[in-house]
Amino acid sequence: MLVYLLKRIAIGLATLLVASAVVFSVLEIIPGDPALLMLGMNAEPDTLAALREQMGLNQPVFLRYLDWVSGLAVGDFGTSYTYSSPVLELIGERVMVSLPLALISLFLSTVIALPVGIFAAARRGKPADTITMGAAQVGVAIPNFWFALLLIYLFAVWLRLVPAGGFPGWDAGIWAGLKALILPAIALALPQAAILARVTRSAMLEVLGEDYIRTARAKGMPRRIVLWHHALRNALIPVLTILGLQFAFLLAGTIIIENVFYLPGLGRLVFQAITQRDLIVVEGVVMLLVATVIIVNILVDIGYAIVDPRLRTRR
């Protein structure tokens, strides 16, 4: 297992290096001059030249790439063109919003999806199954920004229980921060829960058809214990895979929800950075996401091994 893990980490690092080259060259190709964008339509040519020099844009591409990668290796992500503050600091501030948001919605979606999926699987073909899976279908189909607006009108405009958007910062207190995150977390969690519930149900159904389940039932084990103990554990592998994917999405793929709630999250940072050609920020965030996906995948693999002891020795 340990050798396997080390191998995974080595592959992960190689992937990061390849990703850095791809990300950097793709962003070099897209048109748009960050200096021109900052100085606008009245800028004099010598002003532009001065700013480009200040931003270090006059160096050859290859040198800038080396500069950047060697910086990354020691944890220096560079300085944002537009914000003129360290990229790592910018990302850090945004992660303080995006990470809790992702974790809360992941928690919500799991707490909703697992029982629903198991429940539906246990009552396969019965009305309860049809109804819950129908509801899940609706959950998958509802656009999350629309659902978010419904939530805002209900809980913020009408009931005034929570703010309509924005994030006061954790300095304002944990409770104030959580209050700002709860609606977006629900809006994000619902469609994820719907998908997860469907995956859980089909994974459970597959396992429930296995011989050992019949054997367990035949030797007189209560239905509930068979379901939760024997079946669920074996059905968890596809569920874990989906959870891993969802986490990566929730961390940065939430730009629409962040816009609707005007949350200062990672998605908004990337979006803003792309439109302003703040390339170094885009590169930094993308690298962070690549790293996150790699780490989550490794964690999911470890999760497999915990769930299924056979996987611990096989590799």
Partner 1 sequence: MKTIKSIIGGAALLLAAGTAAFAARTDLVIGVVLEPPHLDPTASAAAAIDEILYANLFQGLTRIGRNGEVLPALAESWTVSDDGKVYTFNLRSGVTFHDGTAFDAEDVKFTLDRARADDSTNAQKQLFAAIDTVEVVDPATVKVTLKSPQGSFLYNLGWGDAVMVAPETADGNKEKPVGTGPFKFGNWAKGSSITLVKNPDYWGEPVALEKAEFRVVPDAAAAIPALLSGDVQAFPQMPAGDALIQIESDPRFVVAIGATEGETILSTNNGKEPFNDIRVRQAIAHALNREDIIAGNGSGYGTPIGSHFSPANEAYVDLTETYAYDPAKAKELLAEAGYPAGFKATLKLPPPAYARDGGQIVASQLRQVGIDLEIIPVEWAQWLEQVFKNKDYDLTIISHTEPNDINIYARDDYYFDYNNPAFKEVMNTLEATADPARRVELYKTAQKIIAEDAVNGFLFQLPKIGVWDAKLEGMWENSPIQANDLTDVKWAD
Sign of CA dihedral 30, 32, 33, 37: negative
Q: How far is the CB of 75 from partner 1 (least distance, A)?
A: 20
Quote the least distance from Cβ 102 to partner 1, whole Å.
16
**Phi and psi, residue 224, nearest 5°:** -65, -45
Count of CA atoms in the C-beta half-sphere (13 A) of 212: 10
Q: With respect to partner 1, which residue has the nearer C-beta, 6 or 30?
A: 30
Return the number of the residue (64 or 268) whose C-beta is nearest partner 1: 268
* Cβ neighbourhood burial of 255 (10 Å; 0-12, 13-18, 19+): middle
> Nearest distance from residue 252's CB to partner 1, in Å?
14
Query: DSSP labels for 44-95?
Result: -HHHHHHHHHHHTTTS-HHHHHHHHHHHHHTT---B-TTT-SBHHHHHHHHH
> Cβ closer to partner 1: 160 or 310?
160
Question: Tokens at residue 155, please?
Answer: 């809980």
Closest to partner 1 by CB, 173 vs 222, is 173
Judged by beta carbon, residue 176 or residue 237, the one nearer partner 1 is 176
Helices 174-208 and 127-141, packing angle to 10 deg: 130
CA neighbor of 257 nearest in space, from 188, 192, 176: 188
Find out whether 304 and 294 touch, Cβ atoms under 8 Å: no
Contacts to partner 1 by CB under 8 A: 30-34, 36-44, 46-47, 50-51, 53-54, 82-85, 90, 93-94, 97, 145, 149, 152-153, 156-157, 160, 163-167, 169, 173-176, 259-265, 268-269, 272, 275-278
To partner 1, the closest distance from the beta carbon of 183 in angstroms equals: 11
Taking each helix axis from N to C terminus, what angle separates 2-29 and 61-73, rounded to the nearest 10 degrees?
150
Name the nearest CA neighbour of 261 among 179, 174, 141, 139.
Answer: 179
* Complex with partner 1: residue 9 or 154, whichever CB lies closer: 154
Name the minimum Å distance from CB 83 to partner 1: 6
Backbone angles phi, psi at 14, to 5 degrees: -65, -45
Closer to partner 1 by Cβ: residue 164 or 240: 164
Q: Residue 113 or 279: which CB sits closer to partner 1?
A: 279
3-class state of residue 125 by DSSP: coil
Minimum gap (Å) between residue 169 Cβ and partner 1: 5
- Residues linked to residue 86 through DSSP beta bridges, in sequence order: 79
CB of 51 to partner 1, least distance (A): 5
Q: How far is the CB of 284 from partner 1 (least distance, A)?
A: 14
